[in-house]
Amino acid sequence: MTKVEQRMASSSPLPRVAEPAPPHRAPVAVPDIVHPVAAAGDQALHEPHDADRAFHAMLAQLTGGLSPTALAMAWLDWAAHLASAPAKRLDTTRDAVQRSRQLATYAVAAASSKDQPAPLIAPLPQDRRFAGPDWQLPPFNLMAQAFLLSEQWWHNATTGVRGVAPANEAIVEFSMRQPLDVLAPSNFAATNPDVLRKTIETGGENFVRGWQNFCSDWSHALAGEKSTENQSFVVGKTVATAAGKVVFRNRLIELIQYQPTTAKVHPEPILIVPAWIMKYYILDLSPHNSLVKFLTDAGFTVFMISWRNPGSADRDISLEDYRRLGVDAAVATIADILPDRGIHALGYCLGGTLLSIAAAAMARDGDTRLKSITLLAAQTDFTEAGELSLFINESQVAFLEDMMWQRGVLDTTQMAGAFQILRSNDLIWSKIVHDYLMDERAPPSDLMAWNADATRLPYRMHSEYLRQPFLHNDLAEGRYLVDGRPISLSDIHTPMFVVGTVRDHVAPWKSAYKIHFLVDADVTYLLTSGGHNAGIVAPPDQPSHSYQVLLKPADGSYIGPDEWLKTAPHHDGSWWPEWTTWLTARSGALCDPPPMGGGGADARSLPDAPGDYVRQP
């Protein structure tokens, strides 16, 4: 057993925090007969019954994991306040009448003139459903305009009702948008001019091949296999190919050390903490877009955590276990391999939240092994967590807990379904139209193959994460406990490099930006083009990327995100070289590469990269 394993094995479990003592009161007379429920304690009254949990778990199969109670409460809040707002109702009625008149006038002008009239309404910039030139021709332009006017009317009707809780308003607006997206004229062959044109050009073969695509996808889904287009991406062969070796393993992680590709390296290693909601190799995709390869080619020693895919037997693994057996174990292992060296730590998405927790705990305890901290699309304050927060309220969390309680984990289909609903136009309906109606499958992509390689989440960990950092915002507000004592992000004085992405639906960039007033450190904030994944995977040879970056010293004045957006200078290209320049400025002189692993029989028996955990189904 290695020194790190001995250290981890000897660590005592997290002690339970005792309930606070009740305030002192004068003694009172106690009757001879005590009610049996009272004798059992109040805690028993609050424990959910197994029958209730089982019913909720069964109900979740019908609702896709969404709490019907949460939806009903949101709609009741909206309907009750709308009922007591006659002026709002009158305005929405007038708006409907006005839009109907405008649409009728537009229809007459489109039918009576060779030149098509100017559109009444334009789709949002990210809405590409009606972008083709054929959508400007009658009658398709009329159908598109009618749909967009209806969509805007429903948005106005479900928002701006005085007195409705903002969270409930967002749920109502979002849930109303879903059936509207289903009924969009772009989703049906008879009302989509692009599909009709494709049908004429191919003589209907697009439907035959589209049906074959559907049957192929369905059969692979039933068998639990990768879809046909993703089968060409194989872990260890075409993706996750950077050379290296697993140098440490416990029941939760494998730690990979990558082979150096330069004769000299920077003395400080980089530790990458990826999210465990997906496999780690998004940062080591194909060789041309691997962040690991980019870093090793730049002379850095790189370590990466690969999380084990938990099963139902791992239901009681806690968020504290992920910190202790994940980040802490990795830091301890690196310290054994490279003693007395500072570590550049990077956390991506949920891994960034965990790294922030670990860094705050280390700072509280006087541990100075982290030389810099980089957060990629990661949140530490969850008060404005974007559309993902639609699924996080007390009712929804309780519903998810009961669903996970039965299985012991949050299944991969539940996680994938939540993200697909957030971007249903791009990930559901657009795919159906192009794959099954037009036979125009998108070319195979390593990023999409990784996206389909989902993982499960343990019951206890996911419940703790949803309730503590997310729902109650304990981390940002100083209530999160590590080893039974609260931690504060303000204890972090280590220089930070924080990356947000412009179109992030998981960790909105303004939410990630809040790190500025949570830590007492120099913060270099960078905002890059793209979304949560494509914005982070931004190799320098892709010319479509751009970014803004600005340093805020620890003693500098805070500026809000809108002002920052106007102030921060723009740069074309990938943000990766900007980050490595920042790292180099905080690294020592080049030296010989370190040894691979810490030696010993246990280390030699471990596999080469990408290891075993990443291959677990």
CB 575 within 8 A of CB 499: yes
pLDDT digits 0-9 by tens, 533-592: 999 999 999 888 999 999 999 999 999 999 999 999 999 999 999 999 999 999 999 999
Please provide the average confidence, as pLDDT, over all residues in the chain. Answer: 88
Q: Per the domain annotation, does 151 fall within a domain?
A: yes
What is the distance between the alpha carbons of residues 519 and 364, in angstroms, rounded to a whole number?
13
Q: Choose the final residue of a domain: 148, 175, 202.
A: 202
Q: Per the domain annotation, does 343 fall within a domain?
A: yes
Q: Per the domain annotation, does 127 fall within a domain?
A: yes
Q: Per the domain annotation, does 399 fall within a domain?
A: no
Beta bridge partners of 572: 546
The catalytic position among 285, 349, 363, 415 is 349
345 and 482 together in one domain? yes
112 and 253 together in one domain? no
Q: Choose the final residue of a domain: 148, 176, 202.
A: 202
The torsion of the CA quartet 427, 431, 432, 435, rounded to 10 degrees, works out to -160
68-83 vs 394-407: helix crossing angle, rounded to 10: 170
Q: Per the domain annotation, does 358 fall within a domain?
A: yes
Q: Choose the final residue of a domain: 171, 202, 233.
A: 202
Q: Please, what sign has the CA dihedral across residues 352, 358, 364, 366?
A: negative
493 and 360 together in one domain? yes
CB 192 within 8 A of CB 200: no
What is the distance between the alpha carbons of residues 406 and 509, in angstroms, rounded to a whole number?
35
SS3 content of the chain, % helix, strand, coil (to 5): 50, 10, 40
Distances (CA, A) of 572 to 61, 391, 529: 47, 36, 10
- pLDDT value, residue 501: 97
Residue 311 tokens, joined: 């099963």
- CB-CB neighbours of 294 under 10 Å: 23
**CB neighbour burial string for 545-556, b if at least 16 within 10 angstroms, e if fewer:** bbbbbeebeeee
Residue 420 pLDDT > 80: no
264 and 375 together in one domain? yes
189 and 296 together in one domain? no
CB 267 within 8 A of CB 588: yes
Q: Per the domain annotation, does 282 fall within a domain?
A: yes
The whole-model pTM stands at 0.87
Report which listed range, 16-20, 123-127, 302-306, 464-468, is most confident: 302-306
Q: Please, what sign has the CA dihedral across residues 421, 422, 425, 431?
A: negative
Asked if 349 is an active-site residue, the reply is yes
496 and 369 together in one domain? yes
Q: Cα 124 to the chain's mean position, in Å?
A: 23
Q: Per the domain annotation, does 434 fall within a domain?
A: no
- pLDDT value, residue 229: 66
Burial of 78 (0-12, 13-18, 19+ CB in 10 A): buried
Report which listed range, 133-137, 228-232, 355-359, 382-386, is most confident: 355-359
285 and 173 together in one domain? no
Query: Which residue type, as a one-letter code, is found at position 9?
Result: A
Q: Per the domain annotation, does 368 fall within a domain?
A: yes
325 and 176 together in one domain? no
255 and 151 together in one domain? no
pLDDT average, residue stretch 371-391:
90
| CATH value at residue 372 | 3.40.50.1820
What is the distance between the alpha carbons of residues 76 and 72, in angstroms, rounded to a whole number?
6
508 and 603 together in one domain? yes
**Alpha helix (H) residue ranges in 488-599:** 509-512, 561-567, 576-585
Domain count of the fold of the chain? 2
What is the distance between the alpha carbons of residues 243 and 257, in angstroms, rounded to a whole number?
9
What is the distance between the alpha carbons of residues 588 and 265, in angstroms, rounded to a whole number?
10
189 and 300 together in one domain? no
CB 273 within 8 A of CB 343: no
Candidate from 206-210, 251-255, 398-402, 608-612 with smallest mean pLDDT = 398-402
* Apex 253 CA angle, 249 and 254, nearest 5: 50
320 and 270 together in one domain? yes
What is the distance between the alpha carbons of residues 209 and 217, in angstroms, rounded to a whole number?
12
CB 269 within 8 A of CB 303: yes
pLDDT digits 0-9 by tens, 51-75: 877 777 777 777 766 788 889 999 9
Residue 78 belongs to what domain range?
A: 68-202
What is the distance between the alpha carbons of residues 431 and 436, in angstroms, rounded to a whole number?
8
Strands 496-503 and 523-531: parallel
